[in-house]
Amino acid sequence: MPENILAILPELGVAVGQTFLMLAIGLSAALLIGGPLGILLFLLSPGQSLANRPVHLVLNWIVNTVRSFPFIILLVALVPFTRVIAGTSIGPLAAAVPLSVAAIPYLARLVDQCLREVPRGVIEAAHAMGASELQIIWRVLVVEARSGLVLAFTVLAVSFLSYSAIAGVVGGGGIGDLAIRYGYYRFQTDVMVLTVALLVVLVQTIQFIGTATARRLDKR
């Protein structure tokens, strides 16, 4: 094993842990806030049970506006907010703040799109049988769209793994930070290759697990 790689192995372990921490916080925020927001977007859209055009337009505009920001710009723009929330603007906890802000509307849009694939007849049948809105959400919408929702969450996880690497450029820590400090600034190509290979393995693993889970849940 090359000497450079041996020397950074302890830091590599820390970097992987930081990356997982950023992902865990960002994806949790997306699941807890972005998921319900996506369901709300769907229910408020024209033709649905809670249709409300003004509120839907406002929420839709907010989601589209946040998603339109390139992540590196959002990362810098949220520095004051990050300092308030995390107490610092550097490190994995600080990087998790803009990651969460970006992940919430990202997943909300994916959830909205997945729910639109649910046959309208199934929803109308549930209404006809007297099901409440909460029952329709959990027993009809989520159940019918569960395969697509898992794939949507997988897409989010893969995308935000690369976003976490971008966070390393501005001192966010993680695998991206390691690649920049050693692979770029110190011209240690072997370290750069190692970090890229590690990211590829992580992406492939996440995608495999997500696809396998979605296939198992798909009852069509």
pLDDT of residue 171: 66
The tokens describing 64, both together, are 């589209």
Give the global pTM.
Answer: 0.88
In total, how many domains does the chain have? 1
- Whether 157 shows a pLDDT value over 90: the answer reads yes
Mean pLDDT along residues 68-79 = 86
Per-residue pLDDT band for 88 (boundaries 50, 70, 90) equals: confident
Start-to-end CA distance of the chain, whole Å, equals: 49
Other C-beta atoms within 10 Å of 18: how many? 25
Whole-angstrom distance, CA of residue 69 vs CA of residue 73 = 7
CATH number at residue 56: 1.10.3720.10
Mean pLDDT along residues 53-73 = 91
Whole domain around residue 192: which residue ranges? Answer: 3-217
- Whether 167 shows a pLDDT value over 80: the answer reads no
46: left (phi over 0), alpha (psi -120 to 50) or beta: beta
Share the mean pLDDT of the chain: 86
pLDDT of residue 205: 94
Whole-angstrom distance, CA of residue 20 vs CA of residue 17 = 5
Give Cα separations from 33 to 25, 61, 140 (angstroms): 12, 17, 20
- Whether 219 shows a pLDDT value over 80: the answer reads no
Whole-angstrom distance, CA of residue 109 vs CA of residue 99 = 16
